[in-house]
Amino acid sequence: MYIFPAIDLYDAKAVRLLKGDYEKMTVYSDNPLEIVRDFEKNGMTHMHMVDLEGARSGESRNYHVIARIREKTELFIQLGGGIRSMEQAEKYLSIGVNRVILGTAAVEDEGFLAELLGKHREKIAVGADVMDGVVRTHGWKKSTGLRVQDFCEKLNALNVRTVIATDISRDGAMRGTNIALYEDLKKLLNADIIASGGIHHIEELKKIHGLRLHGAIIGRAYYTGDIKLSEAVKYEQ
């Protein structure tokens, strides 16, 4: 299992939202690269990054920050937020982003997802952002009415290799992750699964590790100190 400490970008700053609410944003650093250095210092090999402005509007205002982070670190970077065209995806892949994540585009444009998978299958992940069993898009603002079970069937048919599963109701809430969701997805999906949303204690990483998931994303718990990366790294591989 890989540990993915997370950086969410808004206005070139590292921030966290509560349950995807842009009105409930906490700024943790004006210099995201300093946070990346802390990831490295604590033995991390991977990181997760989201362009929140891109996720909400489809327009990236943080490209220069993302490019600088890619230039300055050897960490494996997976990036999501507003990637809704081949041009956007390949722009990030061309600067060395290791994996790009499709959320809204994966739901709304199956043809584009299939085309992108055809060209870059191993470098593509799909975000399954779920609230009350239903997939949401546009920075978690829009309910699609699509049940997660039906979405999983579509992803299997397209041979998607990596799925990042987030229970939106748990994200940033520091009240525990949805282990039952990941257990269900293990039965439904053929892809590698990365757990996200609400992981707030080292014991939860132990449980996720026991499920043999591909990875786990640590967000707010890193910034509050509830999970120390020096301890989390023990669950890598």
Please give the Cα distance from 29 to 31 (Å, whole number): 5
Model pLDDT for residues 95-147, shown as the tens digit of each residue = 999 999 998 889 999 999 999 999 999 999 999 989 888 999 877 678 888 99
CATH of the domain at 113: 3.20.20.70
Q: What pTM, to 2 d.p., does this model score? A: 0.92
Selected catalytic residue, list 8, 51, 167, 171: 8
Identify the pLDDT of residue 61.
82
35 or 18, which is more confident: 35
Active-site position among 51, 129, 167, 171: 129
What φ, ψ does residue 148 adopt, rounded to 5°?
A: -60, -35
Is residue 8 among the annotated active site residues? yes
Q: Has 132 been annotated as catalytic?
A: no
Determine the pLDDT at residue 173.
55
Q: Residue 4: beta bridge partners?
A: 217
**What's the pLDDT at 3?**
97
- Calpha distance 77→207 (Å, rounded): 24
Q: Find the domain containing 104 and state its range.
A: 2-235
Number of domains composing the chain: 1
Nearest in space to 125 (alpha carbons), one of 69, 169, 166, 95? 166
